[in-house]
Structure 1
Amino acid sequence: MINYKLKELIADFLLLLVAVAWGSTFFVVQAAVNETPVYTFLFWRFFVAAVLMLLLSVRALRYFNTEVLKAGVLLGTFMFLGYAFQTFALTYTYSSTVGFITGLNVIVVPFISYLIFKHKASLFSSFGAVVAAIGLYFLTLNSEIGFGLGEGYAFICAMMFALHIVFTGYYSTKHNVYLLVCIQFFTVALGSFIGGFVLEGAIMPPRIDGLFINAIAITVLFATIFAFWVQTAVQRFTTAAKTAIIFTMEPVSAGLFGYWFANEVLSLSQIAGAFLILSGMLIAELGAYMVERRRLKRKPL
């Protein structure tokens, strides 16, 4: 059990690195999509990642079957719909509002995990999720949340990302990680290809310059291959609820990288929000540790 708790701690740390990787590429992606349509950018990001992941998955192809195909397509569909509805939401409401509502999947994940797989979140994870959600509010304090179409799209986006987290934890214990990730990437690329033609008229970027190439390279390597492979590989050792809490560090790291490298200003409310998110993560982590220590002390020798 101690060995398993160590694996859980390592898994949580690696998931934190995933959140940092996503946050660190935020301002790079933001700059790129100012010049390149969103679905065009998503297509090339995930298509290149899928091809590279396929090369890394050659030895795992012997494990390919219809079950892993179904699992990978389902996860990829959740991922693509999350990005798609996030994009729709951004056209109708403020980015800070979309960020806050999307981040509320930290509250949704424990309920979905229980309803579908009967996985009950611990009291500490639930409390940590609430604290992290409050932190998200302060981090995006300029949000003007109403009940418009944009907010509805953002809520669907949050549900899709929550389902992705929950089902990743389930399927990662049953199928080859390389194949799961590879199939997800191809699924998102296909969805983006269709979305690009339907909504943008093409999937070729208007300009292939240094900004586009650098953004694709950085997001493919760090925010896509590294991030989703690590999530799929290690989430089996932790819970979906804790994963969602850890992922709330993405906007925190985005703010910090924007402050350090893009000269963005952090307000007091954003700093307070970042502190609360970090507190929520620590509550879930330390709470699980204390519960396990108490259980081991009560265990008869």
Structure 2
Amino acid sequence: MATLSPRLRANLLLLLAAFIWGFSFVAQRTGMAHLGPFAFNAVRFLLGGLVLLPLMGLFDRQRQRVGLAVVPLRDRRLLRGGAVVGLLLFGGATLQQAGIVFTTAGKAGFITSLYVVLVPLLGLLVGHRPSAAVWVGAVLAAAGLYFLTIEGAFGMAWGDLLVLVGAFVWAIHFLVLGHFSPQTDTIKLSFLQFMVCAALSAVAALLFETSAIADFRAALIPILYSGILSVGLGYTLQVVALGNARPADAAILLSLEAVFAVFAGWLLLGEQLTSRAFLGCVLMLAGILISQLFGEAEAQGSRGAGEQG
């Protein structure tokens, strides 16, 4: 029996991750029928962190096997990074979870995916120079956002606005995560950020929400999907796959998360897109792909010429 090449295997794993994340928007939306955003996030990120525990042990054994040092969970740099990125994760997840109540799963998926374009633009604040492709992608994504979300003369639904602000927080989270990740164990860093987010969400739930055991029981399936599959398994698939995936392949496949969100919303929730909203989705997806594919190519060319990307 023929075996899959490492690149094809990685691409299939990324496609599965995008599929899981796209359908997660439906789980998050249905879960909010029973729980508040803080309680829902507290449980799902706790579950996601617990799923990473076996992976942490596996990676530690592999590092020991090849003679590399194992980073303990009590490492100061790791704890500091986990606290910072966990706080940002709490902010982004809260805004997304609160906003998804007032919008569709498909819209939430596309608006959240804007963080891909926002990351290089926010990089301006720390001296990074976005390529021409990134600017083109940003313009297309902004035009798509207008057609997808703007209503009437110039009004945006409350849920869309919350998810959009959340996309900015996700972009900052991505930049900060990129700062801390090279300095420490990425699996343990993710575990700590999930635990920090779960703890902050739990405290907020106790202060601002009232949930009964019956509410958690009613939201059990969305919680299990969002926690175990989306947070735990989705991240694991991404980490394993990116070691063998080409950047262009990864950009295309992970961008499909938004497409899967629209499909899941239509299939499971009966959500419909107007022709205007569909045009917005197409423009946003084009902007994201142009920003990632051609922006990456230009950045690699600049690095090859001895410049900083």
Q: TM class by shorter-chain length?
A: 0.7 to 0.9
Deviation at 1:208, TM superposition (A): 0.9
Whether 1:219 aligns to 2:218 is no
Percent identical: 25
* Amino acid of the structure 2 residue aligned with 1:264: E
State yes or no: 1:167 paired with 2:180.
no
- What code does the residue aligned with 2:71 have? Y
Asked if the contact 2:149/2:156 (under 8 Å) is kept, the reply is no
- The answer to whether the Cα contact below 8 Å between 1:79 and 1:164 also exists between their aligned partners in 2 is yes
Query: Within the alignment, does 1:109 sit opposite 2:119 as a pair?
Result: yes
**Distance of 1:172 and 1:155 partners within structure 2:** 25
**Residue 269 of structure 1 aligns to which amino acid in structure 2?**
R
Tell me what 1:37 maps to. Answer: 36
Q: 1:63 aligns with which of 71, 76, 80?
A: 71
**Structure 2 residue corresponding to 1:95, chosen from 103, 111, 115:** 103
Map 1:186-225; keep pairs closer than 5 Å: 186-202=195-211, 204=213, 206-209=215-218, 212-225=219-232
Deviations 1:219-263 (A, max 9, x none): 12332113344566749x999xx97x9876544321122223333
Distance of 2:151 and 2:274 partners within structure 1:
11
CA-CA distance at 1:154 after TM superposition: 5.6
Instruction: State the AA in 2 paired with 1:274.
Output: C
Structure 1 runs not aligned, ≥5 long: 1-5
For the residue of structure 2 that corresponds to 1:63, the secondary structure is coil
The whole-number CA distance in structure 1 between the counterparts of 2:13 and 2:35 is 31
Q: Distance in 2 between matches of 1:38 and 1:130?
A: 32
What TM-score do the two structures reach when normalised by structure 1?
A: 0.74
1:265 paired residue number:
272
Structure-2 separation of matches of 1:263 and 1:153: 23
What TM-score do you get using the length of structure 2 for normalisation? 0.72
- Return the offset for 1:276: 1.4
Could you tell me how far 1:15 is from its partner in structure 2? 6.4
Structure 1 residues 10 and 72, CA, compared in 2 at 3 Å: closer, same or farther? farther
Gaps of 5+ in 2: 1-5, 61-69
Equivalent of 2:259 in 252, 274, 296? 252
Does the 8 Å contact 2:28/2:97 carry over to 1? Answer: no
1:23 maps to amino acid: G
Indicate the SS of the match to 2:135: helix
Match of 1:3 in 2: none
Distance 2:139 2:147 in 1: 13
Aligned residues: 283
Q: Which residue is equivalent to 2:94? A: 84
Cα deviation, residue 297, structure 1: 11
Q: In 2, Cα distance between the equivalents of 1:11 and 1:169?
A: 21
Question: Does the 8 Å CA contact 1:23/1:250 hold for their aligned counterparts?
Answer: yes
The residue aligned with 2:20 is 21
Aligned to 1:30, the other structure's residue is in SS state: helix
